């Protein structure tokens, strides 16, 4: 059902894009808009992952620089039947994570240092399982295309503002120009947000299956939401178009499950996961322990997910 709904919304975005092109330049404008959209999507298909990771200053880690975190992702990918993705760490105090890449063979997952330092190992595993679910569902490609089309519609709306459209080929006249300038970009934004919210519920459920415990993810969402509300993510604020990629909206003040939110309300997601845990009724469906994800003392050296032996060796992002 989610796949059908997403396909319908993407079709609506494409129709909006071509309609705006028609309002600006008639049939010729519609064809030019189609060519521009194809070019933008092709570029995004091959380069979106690199652009997003660069925007957030993500640093790639491996089995040597972050052995426990890397092994955790490897085990989860094996559970999901996925190829091993590239693993990144973002030096950011806000707890959050995202996935990117055009397909499972070219995927990457990233977690912030704030997430790795404030969540338990169980909760971190649940978050990374959620991101791997996005990879498995190919949501990263879907959301890239969605963001590209929505951005292109807004761009065409700006063209209508500056150039006034082709009134000879515009059957709606000035009203058509207003539609191209205001209504179409607004509608595109709503469609983009609707797709984002639809994908999050599906990834929550599949992520819970991958890690084996819905309550781990429910607990993680609660902590991440609280942290995102307190800590400003400056990189995300500078690049708001990437907000839909994170497990929790990184933009400050976005807490409501409304038409203007890229994510469902955290309370609704937690309720769905708790309901799922009740359905599973398995011994593993227990609440996460309070055991910290990293040692609180340096008396016993231990390599953590952040590439540290106790407090002496730091990872490459430090």
The residues annotated with a catalytic role in the active site are 131
Q: For the chain, first and last CA: distance in Å?
A: 44
Query: φ and ψ at 128, to 5 degrees?
Result: -70, -30
SS3 110: strand
Asked if 192 and 244 count as a contact pair (C-beta separation under 8 A), the reply is: yes
Length of the chain, in residues: 318
Strands 58-61 and 86-90, bridge-based pairing: antiparallel
In the chain, count H helices and then E strands. 10, 4
* Alpha-carbon Rg for the chain in angstroms: 21
Q: Which residue has the tokens 């309002």?
A: 23
CA 273 distance to own-chain centroid: 19
In this structure, the number of other CB atoms found within 10 A of the CB of residue 136 comes to 19
CA 217 distance to own-chain centroid: 16
- Burial status of residue 58 (CB atoms within 10 A of its CB: 0-12, 13-18, 19 or more): buried
Left, alpha or beta for 170 (phi > 0: left; psi -120 to 50: alpha)? beta
Which of 167, 169, 185, 197 shows the shortest CA–CA distance to 262?
197
* Exposure string over 153-166, b if 16+ CB within 10 A, otherwise e: bbebbebbeeeebb
């Amino acid at each position: 059902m989610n796949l059908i709904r997403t396909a319908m919304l993407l079709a609506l975005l494409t129709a909006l894009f071509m309609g705006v092109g028609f309002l600006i330049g008639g049939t010729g404008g519609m064809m030019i808009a189609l060519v521009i959209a194809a070019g933008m999507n092709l570029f995004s298909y091959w380069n979106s992952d690199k652009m997003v990771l660069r925007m957030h200053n993500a640093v790639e880690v491996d089995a040597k620089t972050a052995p426990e975190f890397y092994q955790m992702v490897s085990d989860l990918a094996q559970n999901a039947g996925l190829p091993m993705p590239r693993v990144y760490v973002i030096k950011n105090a806000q707890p959050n994570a995202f996935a990117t890449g055009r397909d499972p063979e070219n995927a990457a997952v990233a977690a912030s240092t704030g997430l790795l330092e404030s969540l338990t190992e169980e909760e971190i595993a649940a978050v990374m399982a959620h991101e791997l679910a996005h990879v498995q569902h190919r949501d990263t490609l879907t959301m890239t295309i969605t963001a590209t089309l929505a951005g292109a519609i807004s761009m065409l709306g700006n063209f209508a503002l500056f150039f006034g459209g082709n009134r000879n080929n515009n059957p709606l006249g000035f009203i058509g120009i207003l539609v191209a300038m205001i209504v179409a970009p607004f509608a595109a934004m709503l469609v983009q947000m609707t797709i984002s919210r639809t994908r999050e519920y599906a990834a929550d459920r599949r992520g819970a299956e991958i890690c084996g415990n819905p309550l781990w993810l429910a607990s993680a969402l609660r902590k991440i939401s609280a942290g995102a509300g307190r800590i400003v993510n400056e990189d995300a604020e500078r690049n708001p178009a990437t907000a839909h990629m994170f497990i929790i909206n990184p933009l400050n003040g976005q807490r409501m499950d409304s038409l203007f939110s890229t994510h469902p309300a955290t309370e609704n997601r937690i309720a769905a996961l708790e309901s799922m845990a009740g359905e599973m009724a398995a011994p593993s469906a227990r609440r996460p322990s309070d055991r910290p994800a990293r040692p609180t003392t340096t008396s016993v050296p231990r390599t953590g997910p952040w590439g540290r032996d106790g407090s002496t060796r730091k990872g490459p992002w430090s």
